Structure 1
């Protein structure tokens, strides 16, 4: 997931965006009193720009500046945070209109259905809870409340779902966005029931709204939204949208500026309707280690409302808390054995039983950083071709994928040329210290840069121009398994890449690299066909010895773990993977595969 900044950080960062003293009158308040004061604050200055004004607002409020950063509409029902979006919309030119399928056009999605307030102003045009979304998915969502889907009747191309509710306290039809935007939806609804709390008694409930100013939501819906708010922290995209909405409309969403307001107002409501604990986390395993750290991964727990966090214990003491299904414990002693277990928690404070305990031993000290972990000279890329497409190959034990790429240009002999795409490695052990690469702008275009990402996080930029340029980024210093990407931020520049290498970091060694290479050589697997079809991966090779299969996205997030994956055949069924590039790990061997 891309939202990795903690609430405490965001509270300071986001609050600085609001005018000085904007929330001063709310200081020291909690519960209903805080909600009422916030309602007064965000009602003052609110300018009704009209329903048609939303089209203008979206050109600044709903633009993708944080995922692909391509200037298209940021649609929460089609955006794929870790892959290629199924379609994109140009602001202004792709407005609905009529639609019959996904990808036809975007329109104005009222997160709180406008039928509940009879399309009245100013609610009908309030930018803070009305998003630009795909028309078809908007229509399928209709006026159903948001909740956890059990049995699915419709799934959008990014994984948003419609179906019967699995949320405690409600059995009707609900709509569930992907995890990346669950907190966004929750904070928009919290805004609505705060801004318009004095009108709630005149609105229809829609099986979601309450009729009184406090709490303002039905208990089951409140429990869902509290869980989503806590499990999905505020993103930079939300902050930017809040600021742009303030410029357009004159008021703010306080739950983006100050996320702690949510629990200050409704926190005491959490236990009232939720006493069910999450299921026990399974599949806990040591996924990587260095001389000073141990990485862990496990399968997600489930909950009737939603799992918000996992407490990770080391040697019986709480070590860290995370919202993901993996973590790295650092600051450990070389050649030392540690034991770990995990406990899942929900928004109401319910805790699961302890997971099974696993042990891990850190590597011995004395690893020397500086040895090259990757040396890619692009001599094994596919045959020379001027056609732009996805290219895949392997070299030196590392698999590679280049999107929107051609193979007919040269630098130091063969090179890969990327247009509006990226070059991405498979998962590589032993970390990364510094990275060196040679680039050149081909044909026409302007000087620019590649974003360099390690496990999905930007660590620097690589410049390119018409001159052949070799650049080194020092002190990247990421340990463990790494996925390295070079992303072209231009939609038209064609840039050749050659002689890409990086040094190992912290805990890697020549002996370890040789062992990994030996395992890869002695356990030869092949995915066929690739790209995969029908959400099924067929694998050729000595499969009966494989103990575990894991599927990752290119940011290193574990999407699926299967023990004894080939006991009943030679294929693996995947879980609704969207279009994009993924990593399959069979014990210690990693391969990339495509989903189209």
Structure 2
């Protein structure tokens, strides 16, 4: 789920939305080359009936020239330079720890003629286009096309990637070797891999070796049905399964492990998916897939034990759990949750709301971590908590309908929001439809397995024929979205109605050809539909889809006299003035926590040196409550 937060002058506003589509990798369940083929079916542009129950996305084949606009908009240096948002990020000229030897202004400095390094930039095919005879869609696939200095691009030419022997550098007029940022071309350096290579290779700087490796892993996966038919290339072995020849497979795996996925890669992957060609690089989203596909040595190492398990926030029927993440030599895939010694739930998160409990009952919990090979850790510490006995039967804080689109044709969408304060497991929730005033619920929708809505997150269900704001959809279901403006739709918890759109057993129109968005002051579901709880918009209006705003009065918070300055800030420190010790959490606009620090009365400075330019949400927590503020780093 994407998350976005906005602070108004007199209101605390909480907002939420989505990122990697839910279900995108549901079909990726195997290992070895089976997993590679499963990923191929997910990210290619050919429909496959085997995966029609997942969010399969067809790659949009864009033109080669369309990358010019994409590069000028999205391939900018938000990560290393003070004024980087106006210059191209070039992996062959970037100096991550100091001033770049030269910078390029988008479009203005695009090649063009050049006679040396630092003159202009163009587009490099990381996998040389001669390998696939410059054919589409490989020729214009943005995942392996990067903006680079024109002269260095020509210098790299069609050489494979590898580690270079510094004593055997290639000499070429018009360019220094190494280049001005340290990239180099020379004879392959033998680092003891089982297979050697005799020839020249190109080596980027350490900061971008993992980027190059994950581009190769994407490319040989995306085009596994074609790669064996292409012309000879030193890095390929002529197969469609392993594809990458030794020693280059070992080199790329080492680069991948030593240079983990960066925020730059995550952003680039999202921009290519959402704003360009509609498919993703799985090895950026799931770096562990590399070892699962190309590591033939069985993984027998169990994850570390889960620590700091805590149970809190009991209600009559739920208890919240949280714990510190386990670690693993490859990757932790999920956690098994034991309720009174019985393995009952599984989640990939480090928080979980245990549903379906009995009021006024003590429960004890333990957790085991599980890795991608099925190895399991020992039990965590035990945490116990007693459910409450408030006896309430309705009107409690819970998830609720937050948006409804009944538009032209099959533009029909439902959105559900979670502002309960914790992630919600959707296994005990269903949706039901009553058409044309029918006295019975005729259609039932069950959420996909393991569906969770994060706190302040939303879940969007759409008709398969809907064409408005399709990037925000989490699931497609034609049955539950067959509604018209006079059909009642119910949200059920443990088969008990908790929220409703329309009037059950009535065929009166309440929202025909209309978009409804729940008002921000509504904080809980209701079993009686009230149109006054909704803002109405024109048909097919999806401006707010994928997000929801809930507004709380500042008076609800008891934190007093907290000041934050300067804001916006250009330096590396922000002063926070408080009348007591507080903890500070910093979140990016996707809802990811990027920093956490303690501020004391003696030291009231927040270090933001590790943050790139952009907008963040600062959450200030004291013993009396919490408050959120927007921070802009320039």
What TM-score results when the alignment is normalised by the length of structure 2?
A: 0.42
What TM-score results when the alignment is normalised by the length of structure 1?
A: 0.45
Q: Rg bigger for which structure?
A: 2
